[in-house]
Structures are given as structure tokens and as C-alpha cells.
Amino acid sequence: MKKTLIGAASALLLFAASCKEHGVPINLTEDNSRDSSYMGTVEEPEKKRVMIEELSGVRCVNCPQGAEKLEEMLTQYPGRLSIVTIHAGALTTPLEESHQDFRSEDGDNLLKQAWGGEQGSKPTAVFDRLPLGNMGYKYFVNGYLDWPTKVTNALDQHPTTPINIAVTSAYDDAKDEYTVEVTVKYTSAVTDQYTLNIFLSEDKIIDAQELSSTNVKEDYEFNHVLRKAITPPATGKPILPGVATKQPGQVYWYKTSFKIDKTDERQKLWNPANMKITAFASKLDPNDRRIVQVQETKLVP
């Protein structure tokens, strides 16, 4: 299949600048990434999955109840939800008993650039980046009791999707390297500009969580914790920016490789066996950031 160069030189320069690493490196460079586009068979639209981006913190005494509610919702909607928990903003400073620091520059950038900063109190969550917020907030739904209703709202608004997404991950033992491939297939004509976003998160992390002012649970299990954004965290990577109308059957393919730095003080504590890749496409519009589809896979198949 003939591969085409995606994007103008200015867009590539912008992307390269966005990928510059600070804080926690992950040995990811533009040299390790490539993409292509071609026309394929038109597929039936997938059922829409809902992306939940939760804000949490180790000093947030109500956040464990929010985490329990998320697990209940995963059971209630099997195969329809993807969750990433972001430790950014208030109540995230590690405790004296903490072994790890779940904060990240990528999480801070998401909070500031995607949603304009923290609003309200934790636990709070954003659903498909839709304007479903409560208490006067645009995106943030404060209080986990409202979360099931917001999932229903998101599914009712967009039961299907104009794109299908497939994501795979493979590990090369000889290179100690992970390769992620994402395929986006348009099922209908689309004039909106989408961006591809890839997050790396981890489950089953045992560490300290504050339950009250006098009670710290040192063996609390954290799940869905954002470790790293593989693409620029707040803006993603533009999909087919030079194509005004993406026709049904249009396919966009993206591949990238990276290593986890075992010499890094934070990354050496990551457990690849408990990590997952979440890939989603969102609208590139400051007034409409809706996530149009999301899929996920284990980092280690």
C-alpha cells in the first residue's frame, strides 16, 4: 500500500516540539514513529465506548469511594468504558508513607490545557470531554453519585461512532522495546479534524492512600493510573490534517515504539504486566473537545 506523508512541515515541527520530554523521560522520539493513509473497505460503525478521565489524589479521603464507583460501572457496562485516573491538582502530594509519586507533567498539562484547570473538589471526572459538568462546571462532574447518570447521557448522545479504532501492543525482548500500532477507520464522511491520543496507564499499584485525617491505608490498590502520554497530552497528534473531508473507508495508521527507562527513579517501579494502552480520537476544536471513540489493550499481550 502506498504510504503518504501526513501533515505539513509546520505541523511536524509543532508535533516535535510538543513531544519534548521533561521530568519523566520514556525514550520516545519522533524517529520511532511513522504513519500512513489509504482507502480500505467501509466497515459497520462500532458501538461507542465512553472515555472517563478521573481526577484523584492520595490525600483525597473521598477518592476511594469514587474508585469503587468506577469499578461498579465497569461491571455494569462491560466493554463500553475506558478509564484513566489522573493525579494532578490538589491533594496529590505523596504521603510520608508513599513509595511512589503518581503526579506527572503530562497529567498537569491535561488539567491545565484540556480543561482550563481544576474545578470543584475531588473525586471528579470528565465523560468523553462532553459539557456534562455539574455544579456550574463545563466538564467536571463532582461527586461520584452523579457519574452513572453521566455515562448514560454520553451513551445516549452518541451510541455509535464515525470511526472505528483498533490498537495493538507488542514487546520485543531483544530490544526491550514496546511497539504500539493504532488503526483509525472512517465509517462515514467526516469534515471535523480529529486528533489521536495514546495514554499509558497502570493497574494494581499497592501504595498509601489517606482515608481520613487519622487513617492511612498503606496497602491500598490504585488502578487506571496515568503514567505517560505517548502523544502530546493535551492536543494529541492530528489525524489527516491535510484532508478536508475524510471519506468512508479512509484508513489512518500510526505506529510508535518506546522503552521504559529502568534507570529512572519513577519508571523502575512501573510493572509492564499491569499496564495498558488507551487510544482515543478527539475533536480538535477549542469549543468541542468530544472524544469520538476509544479502545484499549494490554501493554504486554
Within a domain: 1: no
Q: Is 28 helix (H, G, I), strand (E, B) or coil?
A: coil
Q: Is residue 185 part of a domain?
A: yes
Q: Is residue 2 part of a domain?
A: no
- Is residue 83 in some structural domain? yes
pLDDT in tens, 149-165: 999 999 999 999 999 99
Instruction: Tell me the average pLDDT across 234-239.
Output: 95
pLDDT at 286: 87
Question: Which residue segment(s) compose the domain that 280 sits in?
Answer: 9-15+25-298
Instruction: Answer yes or no: is 273 within a domain.
Output: yes
Give the model confidence (pLDDT) of 59-75 as tens digits.
999 999 999 999 999 99
Question: Is 4 a member of any domain?
Answer: no
Number of domains in the chain: 1
| CATH number assigned to the domain comprising residue 138 | 2.60.40.10
Strand partners, 166: 183
Q: Which residues of 24-62 are buried (b: 16+ CB within 10 A; e: fewer)?
A: bebebeeeebebebeeeeeeebbebbbbbbbbbbbbbeb
Q: What angle do CA 26, 31, 33 make, to 5 degrees?
A: 80
CA 220, chain centre distance (Å): 23
Average pLDDT over the chain reads: 91
